[in-house]
Amino acid sequence: MSHEQLKADLFEARKEIERLKERASTSTTPIVHKDLSLMSVIPKWLGSDDTVTLEEFLESIESSRRIG
């Protein structure tokens, strides 16, 4: 590859990067932050209830898998 071809490719790459930056900065897609901690998925683990049955625990894990 010649020096001139490399310069042309670099110029095109820089233009593409600038286009992508512009598009990313004007994006109207809202940013969504999910709280994926088990404490938020399983309210009983917040201390409101002292006991959780094994079935409830396994169902909570399975539900978390389906959500995430």
* HEC-encoded secondary structure of 14-67: HHHHHHHHHHHHCCCCCCCCCCCCHHHHCHHHHCCCCCCCHHHHHHHHHHHHHH
Range of the domain at 7: 3-67
Question: What CA–CA distance (Å, rounded) separates 17 from 22?
Answer: 9
Res 26: pLDDT? 76
Res 44: pLDDT? 60
Number of domains in the chain: 1
Taking only the tens place, the pLDDT of each residue in 33-60 is: 776 676 666 666 566 556 677 788 888 8
Instruction: Tell me the whole-structure pTM to 2 decimals.
Output: 0.39
Question: What CA–CA distance (Å, rounded) separates 58 from 42?
Answer: 11
Res 39: pLDDT? 63
